[in-house]
Amino acid sequence: MVCTPSSPNGFLGSLEESYQRRDLVHLAAGSRVPLLRHHIWLVARGMVKLTCMNEQGEDVVLGLAGPNEPFGEPLTNLDLYEATTLCDCDLLCLSLDEVRQTPHLAYTLMQALISR
C-alpha cells in the first residue's frame, strides 16, 4: 500500500523536498532496524518486515512496510515489536517532536497511516 498525495512527486518526493539535507539510513538485507522510543521510520527504498513474538515465543508477521510507509514503536502498542529489512533499504528517521512541529509532515504521515 503506497500513499501518493496530490503532490506531483508523491509522498516521498514531498518529504525529500522538505528534508533535503537529511541523510537516509542505509541498512543491508537482514538487518534489524533499531526501534527508537520517540521516532518514526519511513521507508524510502526497500521493504521491512514487521513482527512481534506471541505467547508461545513464535514470531508473528504483522505486515510489511514498503516505500512511503511509516513504522516504529510510537505506532504500535505491542511488546516485543521488531523490524527487519528484507532487502537493502534506505530509511528516514523522524522524531515525534519534528512531526508535531511540522503540520505538513504530520498530515502526510497521517495520510500514509490511513492508507494502510
- Given the C-alpha cell 527487519, which residue does it identify? 84
Which grid cell sits at 33? 532496524
Q: Which domains does the chain have, with CATH numbers?
A: 10-115 (2.60.120.10)
Task: Give the whole-angstrom CA distance, residue 85 versus residue 47.
Answer: 6
Residue 83's pLDDT is 97
pLDDT tens track, the chain, 116 positions: 333 444 445 655 666 565 555 678 999 999 999 999 999 999 989 999 999 988 898 999 999 999 989 999 998 888 789 999 999 999 999 999 998 998 888 888 888 888 77
Which conformational region is residue 96 in: left (phi greater than 0), alpha (psi within -120 to 50 degrees), or beta? alpha
Task: Give the whole-angstrom CA distance, residue 63 versus residue 93.
Answer: 19
* CB contact at 8 A, 91 and 74: no
* CB contact at 8 A, 40 and 98: no
